[in-house]
Structure 1
Amino acid sequence: MSSAPRGPAWFTTGVLTLCGMIVSLQQTLVIPLLPDLPEILGVSADDASWLVTATLLAGAVSTPIVARMADMYGKRRMLLLSLGVMTAGSLIAAVGGSFVPLLVGRAMQGFGASLIPVGISIMREQLPRERLAGGIALMSATLGIGGALGLPLSGVLYGAFGWTSLFWSTAAVGAVLIVFIRLAVAESPQRSPGRFDVVGALVLSVFLVCLLLALSKGASWGWGGPRVLVLGAVSVLSLALWIPLQLRTRAPMVDLRTAVLPPVLLTNVASFFAGFAMLLNSLITTQELQVPTDTGYGLALPVVTAGLLMVPGGLMMLVFSPVSSRMLNRWGGKPTLVAGLAVMGLTYAGRVLAPDSVANAVVGSTLVSVGTAISFAAMPVLIMSAVPRSETASANGVNSLVRALGTSSASALLALLFASLTVSVDGVTYPSAAGMDAALWAGAAVCVAGTAFGLFIPVRGYEAEPDPVPGPVAESGGASGSPDRAAPVPGGAGYPRPPREPTGT
């Protein structure tokens, strides 16, 4: 039997959504501080950049591990653990006063990244079926909402109360959410059997750390430099070791046999491209709004103004979450995913052709955010419709990791393009108009690729026949008599169609 929520569905949805929002919010809070942190902390600019890299690495490594542990040891327990580590990291960063405590705190904050896949898996168990698609859409939208609000909010807090206020605020919100989770979320009785795959987790961590370090530091270290080459080689070797290890392990860290099923594999590939396009939108728009007009495309706006102009995109992700929910219930996960990616791709192409103006930049960024909200809402639905209940958190964790790899790849590609195509204005080097156009075309290309993969996802949509094994959900996680079945998910495989109207007399 599935766990019963401790509070009403709206309260559970609200608490889990706030968890997702604080995760995406704290990832962007330090970005406006980066120019001032070297002077504040007495370190170099390269050292200060580790305050962003540490959070990225910790989040990427912890997400699949925490998600797997959630399936094995309890989703509510791991939700509280992740939020507790994130809150403790905020406190350490706030009271540390120097670079090392701040770096440790930022790494601990990265553990919050697992809150989103674990939160979505809790929604699957505790929300009524008619509210599930809406909850998933809202939870997925928090990635953009928090990111868009983080930049202007951090500027306001930093200017009014100093840099430590950023971490005091996230610590306070984290503490409140811990209380709310204990009130709103019941522990799931379902458990994935077996022992935790420690060796698999360690090898996967080595692979992710080496790969993400190479992607995030390649521009500053040099793509052909020895450090990047060594990291690349170690990541390839660790992946080559990890794959057969997972196939031989009885309870693997990631069930690769499930991961290569066409619905899961193609959804994850499309998710990679969607994550790529999402981050590229923020980076390109911020660049366009701030660089001088003499570059041929820049709008020369102050940092605070540019940050405020990013807010509409985040708010539109919130506005479109109920629209995404209706699309999921009416059309299913596959058409919704494809529609979102198509909106993003068409917008990127349109931005290349549109004249440079503040209005066009904001409208273009907002439309990409709308496409992001739609496509991100569909991903968990497609994943959950293809995997057993006992692997819900783990499968969503892998999907979140794949999206994170997409965002890291976007940052690396943009750094390469902007470093290769430059223009000098008053002795300062900026990316050229050709570099900006190349970045926009790259965004359109990855959306086309994501759409193509999405079209081949083999799912039965909303109009599918009812699950052939009816009955109540067993504690083991599946339908009665079939413990490994995936429970019906709105818009996914096995979701029963509405009852037919009677015909005749």
Structure 2
Amino acid sequence: MSSPSSGRLTAVLAFAGVVVAVMQTLMVPLLAQLPTLLHASSSDTAWVITITLLTGAVATPVLGRLGDMYGKRRMMLVALTLQVAGSLVCGLTTALLPMMIGRGLQGFAIGAIPLGISIMRDELPPERLGGAVGLMSSSLGIGGAFALPVAALVAEHFDWHILFLGAAVLGLAGLLLVLFVVPESAVRSPGRFDLTGAIGLSAGLVCLLLAISKGGTWGWGSTRTLASAGAAAVIFLAWGFFELRTAEPLVDLRTTARRPVLLTNLASITVGFALYATQLVPPQLLQLPTSTGYGLGLSMVVAGLCVAPSGLMMMAMSPVAAKLIAARGPKVSLLCGITVLGVGYAAGLALMGAGWQMAVFSGLAGAGVGLAYAAMPSLIMNAVPATETAAANGLNTLMRSIGTSSSSAVVGMVLAGMTIDLDGRAVPSLDGFRATFLIGLAACLAGLLVAFFIPGRTRPADTMLTGVVRSARDVLEGAAITLIGKTGEQAATTATDAAGRYSLNVPDGEFVLVCSAAGHQPEAAPVSGPGELDLTLSPAGRVSGAVHAKGSPVGGALLVTTDVCGEVAGSARTRADGTFDLGGLPPGRYTLAVARPGYRAAAVPVHIADGVVRREFSLIPATDDVPVTR
């Protein structure tokens, strides 16, 4: 597969992210109608939402680790395939259990977001990476904001199954685009998959998210909620103990415990919490009847349009965040994003009187989230080796999911507890809406406090290893550059441009840089940090020629070169026409031997200097005299 342009690759991966967002958002207009549509109680239909969160939380780190091991594009295709299958299941059923199975399969698609970010790191040039990562990271908000009014329109006027069938079509389009446009990353972290770690992490996440998502229904002090939370604590402690003692863990806790990674993940929880509250509160306030005194009485479709500025601003902030990250570093972008989001919440306390006011609030929230989300993958990728980016970004996405699920539980509890009576039914009060905005503001303040202690990063140029690769005569274009860690894993790879230049992002630690090019001897050099490292490759000698027997070519004859110490330096077999070509030989003196069953073996000395040495053999049957060489 030829390498796609940076713009095309970014567009396809961002589209895949939007597909995931559509899958998550299309259920929002149906929430109130689910008990009727699925012929089940409201407590049972709540699992239609919970199951997606659970499978997504489990699949994200697992697919990330598998992507680092076996290929990020491959795992992204798996995630999108399961999303298409789940959408088809949901679109063809009206029963609760099949719907839960379909939604569970859809949840695997959430893992496509961190996988796409990791592919961008491997494939895009440094100057394009910031904007691309920002766009990919914000694609969940962008797709959600655009999908909400469309989903509302379909839910109001058409059969609700069309939502899922449409999601299947979008998923298939994303699957095909990734298949034909996105190349497979060459950056791998080979090893053994940590099945025990995956099971332990899955069990702990299930217990934790059950407690968070069902606490409001079960009661926060109920036996089931406390048992789930307690089980999560015990499982995570045991899981952490196991992971620290495993040679190839699912999640490298030592890397995760690095200050930039740990604090970024904690900040991700707060931003995820604040983001989800901006999506939960405005639609309800906009659609409540005007008879409440504060509801705006808008239709489902108009309410969705009032929330759409959030996605527009996320998209608009992607290039802004990229420039800010390039100039001041990702920490500054994160701090600015959380600040703008907090200002949006503070302004939202006074912007509840009209649809346009809620649109302004949504726009401010989207701008803040766009700046913050663009910074998080950059902070993570700057702190971990390239071979661990998919798993590390998957863990960061998981932290955001924990934040959003916590927000759903807390906001739901507040709005259910602060109500007024409207025609015999309880609806959220104005004080309840204000309380959720204050809680969102508090989450932003907590995020600012955490982000303040994230270590500042030097300029992108200060983390790069650059240089020029030359031959004896000219610069070498297309020379392969590979950065190898001390345990043998591939940390990064690139190729020289037309001017022979290369650039690599160098993580902390000791590495070996290996350079190879066709027709030249490979070179290796130790690397311990960013800087400038030029390499000069020596030409590799070649021996070519032909093997004949009484005027007829001899195919399949084995040719072997040995150096002065008797070590084998290279081997080849003759083609059907008797010719051979044996390359990659450093300058020096060798012995070239030829053997073929039924013929006497022969050997001649060869002196490799610079260029091609030609030798021809004329073999005779083993029963005849000595072979002739020249």
- Aligned residue among 409, 415, 420 for 1:423: 420
2: distance between equivalents of 1:210 and 1:369? Answer: 31
* Residue in structure 2 matched with residue 377 of structure 1 by the alignment: 374
Matched, 1:411 2:428: no
1:346 aligned to which of 343, 347, 352: 343
| Aligned residues of 1:470 and 1:479 also touching (Cα < 8 A) | no
Assess if the C-alpha contact under 8 Å between 2:187 and 2:492 holds in 1. no
Query: Going by fraction, where is helix more abundant, 1 or 2?
Result: 1
Query: Superposition pairs for residues 233-244 of structure 1, below 5 Å?
Result: 233-244=230-241
For residues 60-75 of structure 1, what are the structure 2 equivalents within 5 Å? 60-75=57-72
Distance 1:357 1:323 in 2: 29
Q: How far does residue 435 in structure 1 lie from its aligned partner after superposition? A: 2.1
Contact map agreement 1:474 1:483 (CA 8 A) in 2: no
For 1:9, the equivalent position in structure 2 comes to: 6
Unaligned 5+ segments in structure 1 are: 498-505
Determine helix, strand or coil for the equivalent of 1:190: coil
Alignment of 1:44-193 (within 5 A): 44-193=41-190
Partner SS for 2:97: helix
What is the aligned counterpart of 1:277 among 271, 274, 279? Answer: 274
Question: How far apart, CA to CA, are the structure 1 residues paired with 2:413 and 2:322?
Answer: 37
Cα pair 1:334 1:461 within 8 Å, conserved: no
Mark the CA change 1:495 to 1:473 in structure 2 (over 3 Å): closer, same or farther: farther
For the residue of structure 1 that corresponds to 2:462, the secondary structure is: coil
Q: Which residues of 2 match residues 456-471 of structure 1 at below 5 A?
A: 456-462=453-459, 465-467=462-464
Q: Indicate yes or no: 2:341 matched with 1:324.
A: no
Displacement, 1:75?
A: 0.6
Mark the CA change 1:434 to 1:96 in structure 2 (over 3 Å): closer, same or farther: closer
Asked if the contact 1:419/1:431 (under 8 Å) is kept, the reply is yes
TM-score, with structure 1 as normaliser: 0.91
Which structure has the larger Rg? 2
1:37–1:449 Cα change, 3 Å: closer
Equivalent residue, structure 1, for 2:558: none
1:215 is aligned to 212
Q: Tell me which of 435, 438, 444 is aligned to 1:438.
A: 435
Moved more, 468-477 or 138-147: 468-477
Task: State the partner residue of 2:586.
Answer: none
Task: Specify the SS of the correspondent of 1:424.
Answer: strand
Give the secondary structure class of the aligned counterpart of 1:69: helix
Distance in 1 between the 2:79 and 2:10 partners? 18
Query: Shift of the alpha carbon at 1:258?
Result: 0.6
Picking from 429, 447, 451, the partner of 2:448 is 451
**Change beyond 3 A, Cα 1:186–1:304:** same
CA contact (8 A) 2:277 2:440 kept: yes
Instruction: Provide the aligned length of Structure 1 versus Structure 2.
Output: 491
| % identity of equivalent residues | 43
CA deviation after TM superposition for structure 1 residue 223, in Å: 1.4
Q: Which residue of 1 aligns with 2:552?
A: none
Quote the residue 1:42 is aligned against: 39
Aligned twin of 1:488: 505
Deviation at 1:470, TM superposition (A): 6.5
Structure 1 residue 368: deviation in Å?
Answer: 0.8
Could you say what the CA RMSD is over the residues aligned between the two structures, in angstroms?
2.6
Structure 1 residues 296 and 256: alpha-carbon distance in aligned structure 2, compared to 1, 3 A threshold: farther
**Mapped contact 1:478–1:485 kept (Cα < 8 A):** no
The equivalent of 1:201 in structure 2 is 198
Deviation at 1:362, TM superposition (A): 1.5
Residue deviations 1:206-264, cap 9 Å, x none? 11111111111111221122221221121111111111111011111111101111111
Q: Evaluate the alpha carbon distance shift between residue 469 and residue 340 of structure 1 in structure 2; reply closer, same or farther with a 3 A threshold.
A: same
Q: Secondary structure at the match of 2:189?
A: coil
Q: Which amino acid aligns with 2:261?
A: V
SS at match of 1:429: strand
Q: Distance in 2 between matches of 1:278 and 1:476?
A: 38
- Structure 1 match to 2:310: 313
Q: Which runs of 5+ in 2 are unaligned?
A: 469-478, 494-503, 508-528, 533-630
